[in-house]
Amino acid sequence: QVQLEESGPGLVKPSETLSLTCTVSGGSISRYYWTWIRQSPREGLQWIGDILNSGSTNYNPSLKSRVTITLDTAKNQFSLRLTSVTAADTAVYYCARRGLDRYNGNFGKFFDFWGQGTPVTVSS
């Protein structure tokens, strides 16, 4: 059973950089898209972006200028960096895996495993 666990600071100052890491256990980080999603009362669930084991990334256009997602296959981890944060970036941040279509093995359009989430507050 795949498990994901987020880690990182719970408090970030405005204008600084939010950095989180997701550690994947119980399976290889290869062959899947690995995703960051956040949830706040104001925005609800918001997809931030994802990364494939090849290093190819996709980002939400609304965040693209501030987001970087990277992958460390040796450590079975992937990470999120969000620069120039404001109070609007206060949210619970989840890492998740995009599943595979069970009939053809193609990349699915759903998220089958999620971390427990880590709350991040942006405040001075």
Partner 1 sequence: SFDLTQPPSASVSPGQTATMTCSGDNLGDKYVSWYQQKPGQSPVLVIYQDNERPSGIPERFSGSNSGNTATLTISGTQAMDEADYYCQAWGTSTAVFGGGTKLTVL
Does residue 46 interact with partner 1 by CB under 8 A?
yes
First CA to last CA across the chain, in angstroms?
39
Q: Which is nearer to partner 1, 2 or 16 (CB)?
A: 2
Q: Is 115 in the site for partner 1 (CB under 8 A)?
A: yes
Q: Select from 22, 37, 30, 59 the least CA-distant residue to 111.
A: 37
Contact 12, 121 (CB under 8 A): yes
Query: Does position 114 bind partner 1 by CB under 8 A?
Result: yes
Asked if residue 110 binds partner 1 (CB under 8 A), the reply is yes
Token digits of residue 23: 């550690």
Residues of span 15-34 touching partner 1 by CB under 8 A: none
Residue 104 is which amino acid? N
Window of 12-20, 68-76, 83-91, 111-119 that interacts with partner 1 by CB under 8 A: 111-119
Q: How far apart are CA 92 and CA 82, in angstroms?
A: 14
The residues binding partner 1 (CB under 8 A) are 35, 37, 44-47, 58, 60-61, 94, 99, 101-102, 108-112, 114-117
